[in-house]
Amino acid sequence: MEAIFTSDSSLEQVNKACARVGIKPGERFLLVRIGTATLQFFRGGALVKSYVISTSKQPPSNIRNSLGTPRGLHEVAERIGGGQPPGMVFKSRVSTGRHYSELPEAANEGNLITSRILWLRGLEAGVNQGGDVDTYGRYIYIHGTNHEDRLGQPLSAGCILMRNLDIVELFEELRTGDKVLIVD
């Protein structure tokens, strides 16, 4: 039987993770659960909203080139794409000026980075920060996808994928420095 997590246990998990690295969790934070394919947004310690997501096709991993979703405590390092329409495709974190539906079918087969990008930075030295385990250096994002119908199942090459309207909504709520805890 899968454990049910209350916002109290979620808050406790985030507080413990922050305490390990000597920082405060802040007003807003995200809890990503790889096993249940959910992302929970908390404000002031209260659950605001839960989203269906997808994480990596590969097992979770913090190691460079593993294509796994990294675990541990992170922060939003950069917010990219504000003001762009939902479904806009990004290449190298720059808008292409095209919605994914405007691209040839072959271009839509893979996972595209769409709508918004929340670029994550690991906060745990040797776990998800530095050397061969650096989340930021691996370009791990929370972003929209052109495969919304497949959310809830393993889909990415390490990133956290969301519905386009969901990532736009979440992007407006979060700020650089907000904490993100990724757990199994």
**Does residue 1 sit within a domain?**
no
**Does residue 2 sit within a domain?**
no
Domain containing 76: what range? 7-183
Q: Structurally, how many domains does the chain consist of?
A: 1
- Would you state the pLDDT for residue 23? 93
Over residues 60-109, the pLDDT tens digits come to 999 999 999 999 999 999 999 999 999 999 999 999 999 999 999 999 99
Residue segments in the chain with a per-residue pLDDT below the cut of 70: 1-8
**Does residue 122 sit within a domain?**
yes
Q: How far apart are CA 138 and CA 30, in angstroms?
A: 20
**Does residue 25 sit within a domain?**
yes
CATH of the domain at 109: 2.40.440.10
